[in-house]
Chains A and B, each alone.
Chain A
Amino acid sequence: MLFEFDDVVVRFGDDVALDHVTAAVPDGGSVTCLLGASGSGKSTLLRLCNRLEVPTSGQVRFRGQPLDELDPLALRRTVGMVFQRPTPFPGTVRDNFLVAVPDATEAQMRDMLDRVRLPEAFLDREADSLSGGEQQRGSLARTLITGPEVLLMDEPTSALDPAATKALEELGRELAEAGMPVLWVTHDLQQADRIADRRIVLVRGRVADDHQRGHYLASEDADHEHDRQQQDEQEGTGRGAG
């Protein structure tokens, strides 16, 4: 197993983000979607995988090893992550690559841009001058240059237009087909239909049973979801996205 979650509880103060979650994600090239509404705990589950969060109780294992026995820095180089919003660092796209891998060669950087279908000339562009979709692919390239074996995607298309969303979904599928396990958080059922090999559905911090799962899949109301997202954004901090 790639990741195993064993009776995991995550609490933030009085809020219970994950409530006794037991689940597993198999190894190998495939896309696993973590599906759920805002506040369902799907992003928290993802963030456990590279130890941006730690469980309040329970255990997370990566390829059989408990995460708290692994060096977090080495783990994060093995398990790369792309965030909900593009995160360009100051400077050019080249500067961004050099933050990730200080001794990266020009050839490696060009190769990475090629993999995410950005022109090589972008190396000299200011990272924050790119469009949202380009920035997000740039963030993916910056993660890939560190040579991760696993990729975590935290609602990576929620700030993108449909064309940019499609481009990123295709890249995710490609990476999976080339053998990389991809964990992809989304609240968008259609997106999951397009990219997922398998799904884990979360409802209010718990893995949904078949009944709830059917209920969630049938009744997820787009407007309702939208309202909740806005509410989360107003509340600020990284907790949002669930």
Chain B
Amino acid sequence: MEQGDVGWWGLAASLILVAITIAISAWRRLGLERDVLLATGRALVQLLAVGYVLVVIIDPDQPVAYAWAWLVFMVVFAAWTVSRRAPEVPGVLPLALASLGASTAITAAVIFGLGIFPAEARAIVPVGGMMVGNAMTSTVLAGRRVVAEFSEKRHDVEARLALGQPWTEASRPGLRSALRAAMTQQIETTKAVGLVFLPGAMTGLILAGVDPVDAVRVQAAIMFLILGAVAINVVVIGTGVTRRLFTPDHRLVRIARTAG
């Protein structure tokens, strides 16, 4: 691990780059100096706190249940973050909990059930974190996209309802287009991986001195898991939000203007 170690001195030195950011903000009068300082401080405190918690959780002497509990905590925290980032989505918190819970449960079952990664705390926590993190972003995207879609295409949907179509049918083209938009982003990321950027897990492994080809295998497996997690997640949240936008008597509810 020596090559990958950043000592306290190294960490302090990296703050030079934060200083440069602040200098740029002051020079171009962006007024972001305070934000940069706050963000830096918050990131440091959060990461250090998590680091010390992880020391306990990842300790092989501790029961693996701690790691699973950590994963559940991440799902709940992610759902709460989604509800803050997409407040215009009706019933967002329970839906985000359901979709993140479903995607995490299914992908975790595949990864750890088939032994792609060992069901040990040192795998569960980081791999779970990456799945939940990516799924969280896609949840926000899919939820907002569905609301925007039915807000923009209200005329189209109501024309279909007025022809006597049930909401499940009238909503199908809009839902399809929202799901496609939300999934395309992850597919594009998957395509560009390795060529444009080296993702986090691989970067970390290479820094830690692991053979790049071994690192690639780990990263490829993770990318495919993320793709699967995103797909499951987008479908659950998309369908759930759509359900909330229609009444049992097949009317499209009024969507808050902020959604447009």
Contact = CB atoms under 8 A, between A and B. Distances in A.
A202 interface: no
Contacts of A52: 158, 161-162, 251-252
A240 B200 CA distance: 49
A236 interface: yes
A186 interface: no
Interface residues of A, number: 30
Nearest to A47: B158
A54 B253 CA distance: 11
Given A73-B166, A74-B164, A51 B251 contact: yes
A94 B160 CA distance: 15
Contacts of A236: 257, 260
B164 A237 contact: no
A87 B162 CA distance: 11
Contacts of A143: 162-163
Contacts of A89: 156, 159-160, 173
Given A87-B156, A89-B156, A53 B257 contact: no
B173 A142 contact: no
B164 A76 contact: yes
A204 B165 CA distance: 32
Contact of B163 (A53, A68, A76): A76
B159 A12 contact: no
Interface stretch (A78-86, A115-123, A161-169, A209-217): A78-86
A238 B159 CA distance: 12
B251 A54 contact: yes
B155 A77 contact: no
Given A146-B163, A236-B260, A72 B158 contact: no
A54 B249 contact: yes
B243 interface: no
A239 B160 CA distance: 18
Interface string A140-154: 001100100000000
Interface in B215-250: 249-250
Contacts of A12: 254
A99 B161 contact: no
Contacts of B251: 51-54, 72
Contacts of B154: 237-238
Interface residues of B, number: 22
Nearest to A238: B154
A107 to B, nearest CB: 20
A235 B257 CA distance: 8
B151 interface: yes
B138 to A, nearest CB: 26
Contact of A83 (B151, B158, B165): B158
A80 to B, nearest CB: 7
A72 B167 CA distance: 11
Interface in A35-86: 50-54, 68, 72-74, 76-77, 80-81, 83, 85
B255 interface: yes
Interface centre among B164, B252, B255, B260, by most A CB within 10 Å? B164
A133 B164 CA distance: 24
A238 B163 CA distance: 18
A77 B156 CA distance: 17
A143 B164 CA distance: 10
A87 B159 contact: yes
B203 to A, nearest CB: 43
B163 A142 contact: yes
Nearest to A101: B163
Interface string A4-32: 00000000100000000000000000000
Contacts of A139: 159
Contacts of A85: 155
B157 to A, nearest CB: 9
A100 interface: yes
Interface in B127-169: 151, 154-156, 158-166
28 contacts: A12-B254, A51-B250, A52-B158, A52-B252, A54-B249, A54-B251, A72-B249, A72-B251, A73-B165, A74-B164, A76-B162, A76-B163, A81-B162, A83-B155, A83-B162, A87-B156, A87-B159, A89-B156, A90-B173, A142-B163, A143-B162, A146-B163, A235-B257, A236-B257, A237-B257, A238-B154, A238-B155, A238-B158
Interface of B: 151, 154-156, 158-166, 173, 249-252, 254-255, 257, 260
Given A52-B252, A237-B154, 6 more contacts: A52-B162, A73-B166, A73-B250, A87-B159, A143-B162, A237-B255
